[in-house]
Amino acid sequence: MTACVLIVDAGLGNIGSVVAAYDRLGVRNFRIRKPPSDIACYTHLILPGVGSFSAGMDSLNSLGWSDWLKDVWLPTGRPLLGICLGMQLLASRGFEGSDSGNSIPGLDLISGKIVLMSPSQNLALPHVGWNSVYWSNTITPLSVDINSGCDFYFVHSYTFRCDDDSNCLATSNYGSQFSAVVSDISRNVWGMQFHPEKSQKLGKCLLQNFIALNPC
């Protein structure tokens, strides 16, 4: 089946660059504002986003995406990729944007929490710019043709802390180590903290590798 990407447009920004990246790859893609009732034509789903965890979850909940992703998309076993904030929203809970200091429920597609980065060496937040990404020993189809230590483009202040270290497929370092790529491989759920669509040739390779993933 020819790849066709559903790109979730929940008003979280960063949509145009993802659409443009897949247009350049010649891959069919559709920006979808509200959850579709018929998903037969879609082979892959991308949840992009920038901004705060609380605002992101508010948007997904109000538009009906949260339940749809868990109850409709996830059971199909088709690949799902979160980018930047989209990766963070895959977590069980997050603290960004909570006035009370209490955690905010996330999509809970990958067990973990979103916490403020704690860089040493007086490094400023947000973490903006190119940084090296180091793959774990877990070999996945996502990392095909991408060497450990290659640079990707980041913009973030919060990070995904996995409950199970095996869900962290790659790390980077900004004064301290943090998760760069996470996954629950058994559920075909993937997340990238960096922006592959802004990471030039290697980012293009990652987006192609995602499209090559099959349903689990």
User: Which residues 6+ apart lie within 8 Å of 118 measured at CB?
Assistant: 175, 176
Cα within 13 Å of Cα(119), Cβ side: 16
Q: 127: which 2 tokens?
A: 């973490």
CA triple 134-138-140, angle to 5 deg? 95
C-alpha to C-alpha distance for 57 and 171, rounded to whole angstroms: 25
Whether 127 is a known active-site residue: answer no
Is residue 144 within 8 A of residue 206, CB to CB? The reply is no
Catalytic one of 44, 84, 150, 156: 84
CB atoms within 10 A of CB 116: 11
Scanning 26-131, the segments in alpha helix (DSSP H) are 53-63, 65-68, 85-88
Whether 197 is a known active-site residue: answer yes
Between β-strands 177-184 and 158-162, what pairing exists: parallel, antiparallel or unpaired? unpaired
Catalytic one of 44, 96, 197, 205: 197
Is residue 76 within 8 A of residue 45, CB to CB? The reply is no
Catalytic one of 44, 127, 156, 195: 195
Question: Which secondary-structure segment (H or E) carries 172?
Answer: strand 168-173
Q: Give me the phi and psi of 75, to 5 degrees please.
A: -65, -20
Whether 195 is a known active-site residue: answer yes
Residues marked active site are found at: 84, 195, 197
